[in-house]
Structure formats: structure tokens, C-alpha cells
């Protein structure tokens, strides 16, 4: 209980980090990598999400990765009940079937509708940091608001999935629906 509270407090602190102190893309994407890690902790995954108790939670990046080396700070960290986080870079949509979390890069903006159509029956959390993506069907979208990093949640898209976002996470979100 205390551990979960500390994680939530860390998440709250991260949500309200001013971006003015984040000078470079490297630092910005280090903060965004931390968000992805915390999102994984606040999803109530279905019993069928993992094939075995030791299967890692797979975070995939679809398209050109803006993260640089930032994902190295979260890869192989424990996320859920001793489950480790694994990171996979995906060049195209055919590579994402093993993903639990799919970060859709801005390089995929022209393909977003077809990507969401292909994965609509796959139980994966979709995340991006591109303006308007939450309104177009991505579940969580990282945004810069008042020079602070925040996130939008498309609850319509999330509610179609067999997993649930924690109410603690939803309290911190800006809720958007198309």
C-alpha cells in the first residue's frame, strides 16, 4: 500500500514537472520514458494479458523513436509483480502483436487511422505525444500544457479494452473523447 502511494506521489510530481527546466529533447524524452513506466504500473491488466507469470511487459515504439537512449533507464525494471519491462522498436504494424503498450511516434501521423484499425482488437494500451492523437483514438497522449508535461486520456478508446486504467491515473488525466 505504501509502495503504491509513493508511486502515485512520484507520478503526481512527474505530471507537474515544468518543461521550462527541460532544455533538450533528451531530457524531455527521459521524462516521457518515466511517464510510460508509470503508466504501465497503473493499468489493471486482464488475466489473459500475459502467457506466463514471468513474461515481461512489452513496450513497443512504432515508427521513428524520439527517445534516444532514454528508454534504457526503464528497460528491465520491475513493473508488475516482479514482471520486467521489455522495450521493442517496431518498424511497421506487423511487428506489434507482442506489445502490451504501443507508443505511436509522430512519424506515423499519416498512418494513424490504419494503425488503430489494425490493432483495435488487440489488448494493448496506445500512447503518443502528438497533438490531436487522443481525439483520433489513441488512449493516452502526452502534451505540453502551460509549460508542464500532462497527459490526455481517451476514455472511449480505453473502455473498449479488457484492461482498465487505475482511478488514480484517471484523476491526473485530462479526459478527452472524439
Q: d(Cα 165, Cα 23) in Å, to the nearest integer?
A: 31
Q: What is the pLDDT of residue 91?
A: 92
Name the pLDDT band for 23 (thresholds 50, 70, 90).
Answer: very low
For residue 74, the model assigns a pLDDT of: 96
The predicted structure's pLDDT at residue 178: 74
pLDDT in tens, 26-45: 899 999 999 999 999 999 99
Q: Which of 65, 35, 39, 67 is nearest to 125 (CA)?
A: 39
CB atoms within 10 A of CB 115: 21
Q: Going from the N-terminus, what domains does the chain have, and what CATH number goes with each?
A: 2-174 (3.40.50)
Q: Is 128 helix (H, G, I), strand (E, B) or coil?
A: strand
* Confidence category of residue 12, pLDDT binned at 50, 70, 90: low
For residue 150, the SS3 value is strand
Q: What is the pLDDT of residues 53-95, one digit of tens each?
A: 889 999 999 999 999 999 999 999 999 888 999 999 999 999 9
Identify whether the C-beta of residue 15 lies closer than 8 Å to the C-beta of residue 39. Answer: no
pLDDT, residue 121, reads 93
| DSSP letter (8 states) at residue 56 | P
- For residues 90 and 63, what is the distance between their CA atoms, to the nearest angstrom? 6
pLDDT at 13 over 70: no
pLDDT of the residue at 47: 83
Mean pLDDT over 155-163 rounds to 97
**Of the candidates 55, 58, 51, the residue with the CA atom closest to the CA atom of residue 103:** 58
- Give the per-residue pLDDT at 22: 45
Asked if 134 and 176 count as a contact pair (C-beta separation under 8 A), the reply is yes
Q: What sign results for the dihedral spanned by CA atoms 75, 76, 78, 84?
A: positive
Q: Which set of grid coordinates corresponds to residue 81?
A: 509483480
Confidence check: pLDDT of 25 > 90: no
| 98 against 19, higher pLDDT | 98
Amino acid at each position: 500500500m505504501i509502495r503504491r502511494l509513493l508511486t502515485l506521489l512520484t507520478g503526481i510530481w512527474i505530471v507537474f514537472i515544468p518543461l521550462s527546466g527541460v532544455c533538450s529533447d533528451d531530457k524531455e524524452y527521459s521524462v516521457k520514458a518515466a511517464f510510460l513506466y508509470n503508466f504501465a504500473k497503473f493499468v489493471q491488466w486482464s488475466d489473459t494479458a500475459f502467457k506466463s507469470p514471468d513474461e515481461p511487459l512489452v513496450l513497443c515504439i512504432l515508427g521513428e523513436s524520439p527517445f534516444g537512449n532514454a528508454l534504457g533507464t526503464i528497460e528491465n525494471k520491475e513493473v508488475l509483480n516482479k514482471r520486467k519491462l521489455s522495450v521493442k522498436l517496431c518498424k511497421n504494424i506487423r511487428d506489434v502483436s507482442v506489445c502490451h503498450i504501443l507508443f505511436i511516434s509522430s512519424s506515423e501521423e499519416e498512418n494513424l487511422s490504419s494503425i488503430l484499425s489494425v490493432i483495435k482488437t488487440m489488448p494493448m494500451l496506445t500512447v503518443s505525444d502528438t497533438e490531436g492523437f487522443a481525439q483520433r483514438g489513441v488512449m493516452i497522449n502526452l502534451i505540453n500544457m502551460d509549460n508542464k508535461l500532462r497527459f490526455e486520456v481517451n476514455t472511449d478508446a480505453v473502455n473498449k479494452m479488457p484492461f482498465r486504467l487505475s482511478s488514480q491515473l484517471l484523476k491526473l488525466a485530462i479526459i478527452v473523447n472524439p
